[in-house]
Structures are given as C-alpha cells and as structure tokens.
C-alpha cells in the first residue's frame, strides 16, 4: 500500500493546554479512516495541522511525501479539506465558488470543467448552482462545501463532519460517494456519528485528551464491547419470564438484560461470559424448554459502548451501563 499521510509525534500546545499529545499514525491509499473523539479531544486541531492551517508545537506531517511545514503549496495541491461548518462565501453561487476554487488551485479549463461536472452530478446540486449560497439550506451548504473539497480530485481528503445537516437519503449518497472515491485516495473523516464509521470506514482511531487510545478496524473495536457475542431474543411479553428463567440458568450467560420493549414485543439480551459464542447453547436451551420466540440474533458489539468506555477512562468520568437498562435478575 502507498502511504499518503504520515503523522509522527504530533503535539500542539495552546499556552498551558496540550490539545494534541504525541499523536502518530499513517493512512494508506485506499483507506477510509474514522477519526473519533469527544468534544475537545483534539480532532479538529489535528486536522487543521494536517491541512496546514495550524503549525504544530512538535512533530511532523507529510502528505504524499511532502512536509506540511516546509512544502505547504505542494501539500495544498494534493489535499482536499472540508472544515467543520464549511465556511463559504454567502454572496457567491455554488457555480461561482467552484470556478473560484478551480482558479485558486490553478486547474486547466478542461480539468475545471470535468471536476465541476463531476461534483455537481455526484452531490446533486444542479438545481441550486446559480442560487446565492447564503440562501441555501444547511444540507445544501454542506454539499457545496464537500464539492469544493473534491473538485480538484485530491489524493488526500480530510473531512470534518461531512454529513452534518444532511437528511438520511443525502447521508447515504455521500457515503456511497466516499466509498466510490476511496479506492484511489486516503480519506480521513472526523465524525460524532458512529454509524458513519461502521458504514464507510475501514479503520478507526479514537482520541481522548489529545492522545490516541485506540486504532483498529471497526469490527475489531466492536469486539471489545462487553456486548460482543451477546444473544438477542425478540419475543412476546407473555413468554419473557420463562425465557429469563432459561437464560439465568445457563453458566455461559453472565447477565440477562431487557434491551427494548415495544407494545407486546420485548427484546432480551443474554450477555455471554468473556464474549464467547453462545448462540447455539442459547437456542438449544430455549428449544428444550419450548419457549416461543420470534427471533434470535447475535450482537457484534456496540461501537458506542467501546467509545464511551475508552474515552471515559481517559477523562476520568464515571462509566455508565453497557445497555439501555439494568440487568434483570428475575
């Protein structure tokens, strides 16, 4: 794999406050990296350093082999950046903004035409191309911001909350576009939407108090959840007590939780001991007692729980339960 972004020992201090603390990681061509962390963890500061908007206190950043501090112009030609909030020129139209960006990036007339046609089609902004940006909805402004970030076909994309303000259909379209582009680029997505990481990211880094606390693919992170390999059971309320008795009698089950109840349907979670695979033992035990259930499924684990666990630990906050309800002992 070709390394397109390489960060080594990155530190940024603002007076006595250390916003980014000795962060190191690299991103290869073809990778989509989810960059996660609580508010104030150092995500946006890291992105601003990567894109050349802030100078680091210590450490180095290379984009496509070019040092951000010493070769700023070479870096800017190879990087596309969507900052948080995507500040845009409100009196411009999307078309005039895209033409302006193409000129700033010194694209040829042919490349400008091709780039603008591509982003207009992929981001579905043709119907607002000649409308002042200040009159656009938040969703359209976000799409125009993303358009200016990719119009020059950069090797590295740095996106801060790229689907903020988009409706579910628009989010799906943007995620499909990122997946389509990811084969030939390195993409970094800073987001609070953990579903987005599961949907499009091949890897995730979690940062807390300026330090990297996890760096794995999403499935491996989910496997760190205490609910990894828990067995979910959906059944009618009238059969819940019998099912709980079966599950509480199993040595492979550490806890039984009522996860969701909608009208007469209840969802139970049988949490496995040490994350072992208990699907078949649970199914066999339920069948042996002739308990009627609607559905049995396996939990892969919840990224939200792992995120909370890791960041609370670093920030010294009290952890909450891993499920939406307390364990049932009945």
CATH number at residue 195: 3.40.50.300
Asked which of 164, 193, 222 is the last residue of a domain, the reply is 222
Domain count, the chain: 2
Contacts of 79 (CB under 8 A, 6+ apart): 50, 51, 63, 154, 155, 156, 157, 158
Q: What integer pLDDT is reported at residue 321 of this predicted model? A: 43
Give the Cα separation of 118 and 116 in Å (integer): 5
pLDDT tens across the length of the chain (330 residues):
689 999 999 999 999 999 999 999 999 999 999 999 998 899 999 999 999 999 999 999 999 999 999 999 999 999 999 988 766 888 999 999 999 999 999 999 999 999 999 999 999 999 999 999 999 998 899 999 999 999 999 999 999 988 888 889 888 888 999 998 888 999 999 988 888 899 899 999 999 999 999 999 999 999 999 999 999 999 999 999 999 999 999 999 999 999 877 888 999 999 999 889 999 999 999 999 999 999 999 999 989 999 999 998 776 655 544 444 444 544
The answer to whether residues 90 and 195 belong to one domain is: yes
Taken in order 70, 100, 176, 45, the sign of the CA dihedral is positive
Q: Output phi, psi for 93, to 5 deg.
A: -95, 160
The answer to whether residues 153 and 97 belong to one domain is: yes
The answer to whether residues 79 and 128 belong to one domain is: yes
The answer to whether residues 204 and 179 belong to one domain is: yes
The answer to whether residues 129 and 235 belong to one domain is: no
Please check whether residue 10 is in contact with residue 51, taking contact to mean a CB–CB distance below 8 angstroms: no
The answer to whether residues 33 and 13 belong to one domain is: yes
Give the Cα separation of 132 and 89 in Å (integer): 9
The answer to whether residues 184 and 207 belong to one domain is: yes
The answer to whether residues 147 and 242 belong to one domain is: no
Asked which of 222, 243, 273 is the last residue of a domain, the reply is 222
CA torsion 215-218-219-221 (nearest 10°) is: 50
The answer to whether residues 249 and 213 belong to one domain is: no
The answer to whether residues 190 and 270 belong to one domain is: no
The answer to whether residues 212 and 239 belong to one domain is: no
- Where does 194-302 have alpha helices with state H? 194-200, 218-222, 240-248, 279-288
Q: What angle do CA 217, 274, 258 make, to 5 degrees?
A: 95
R_g (Cα) of the chain, nearest Å? 24
Question: What is the CATH classification number for the domain harbouring 290?
Answer: 3.30.70
Structure token digits, residue 317: 């906050």
Asked which of 222, 241, 268 is the last residue of a domain, the reply is 222
For 99-153, the pLDDT digits (tens) are 999 999 999 999 999 999 999 999 999 999 999 999 999 889 999 999 999 999 9
Which residue is it, tokens 């792992």? Answer: 306
Q: Which domain holds residue 258?
A: 231-328
Please check whether residue 252 is in contact with residue 227, taking contact to mean a CB–CB distance below 8 angstroms: no
The answer to whether residues 149 and 281 belong to one domain is: no
């Amino acid at each position: 794999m070709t390394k397109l972004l390489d960060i080594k020992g990155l530190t940024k201090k603002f007076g006595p406050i250390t916003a980014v603390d000795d962060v190191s990681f690299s991103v290869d061509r073809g990778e989509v990296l989810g960059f996660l962390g609580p508010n104030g963890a150092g995500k946006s500061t890291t992105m601003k350093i990567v894109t050349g908007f802030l100078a680091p206190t210590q450490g180095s950043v290379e984009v496509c082999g070019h040092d951000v501090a010493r070769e700023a112009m070479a870096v800017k030609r190879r990087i596309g950046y969507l900052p948080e909030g995507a500040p845009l020129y409100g009196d411009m139209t999307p078309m005039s903004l895209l033409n302006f960006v193409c000129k700033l990036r010194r694209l040829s007339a042919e490349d400008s035409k091709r780039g603008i046609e591509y982003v207009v089609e992929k981001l579905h902004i043709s119907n607002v191309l000649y409308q002042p940006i200040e009159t656009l909805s938040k969703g359209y402004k976000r799409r125009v911001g993303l358009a200016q970030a990719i119009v020059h076909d950069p090797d590295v994309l740095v996106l801060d909350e790229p689907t903020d303000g988009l409706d579910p259909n628009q989010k799906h379209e943007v995620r499909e576009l990122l997946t389509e582009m990811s084969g030939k680029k390195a993409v970094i997505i800073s987001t609070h939407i953990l579903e987005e990481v599961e949907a499009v990211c091949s890897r995730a880094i979690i940062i807390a108090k300026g330090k990297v606390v996890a760096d794995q693919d999403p499935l491996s992170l989910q496997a760190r959840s205490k609910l990894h390999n828990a067995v979910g059971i959906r059944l009618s309320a009238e059969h819940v007590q019998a099912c709980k008795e079966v599950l509480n009698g199993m040595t492979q089950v550490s806890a039984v939780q009522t996860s969701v109840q909608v009208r007469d349907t209840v969802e139970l979670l049988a949490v496995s001991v040490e994350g072992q695979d208990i699907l078949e033992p649970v199914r066999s035990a339920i069948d042996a007692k002739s308990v009627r259930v609607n559905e049995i499924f396996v939990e892969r684990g919840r990224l939200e729980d792992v995120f909370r666990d890791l960041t609370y630990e670093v920030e010294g906050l009290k952890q909450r339960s891993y499920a939406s309800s307390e364990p049932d002992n009945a």
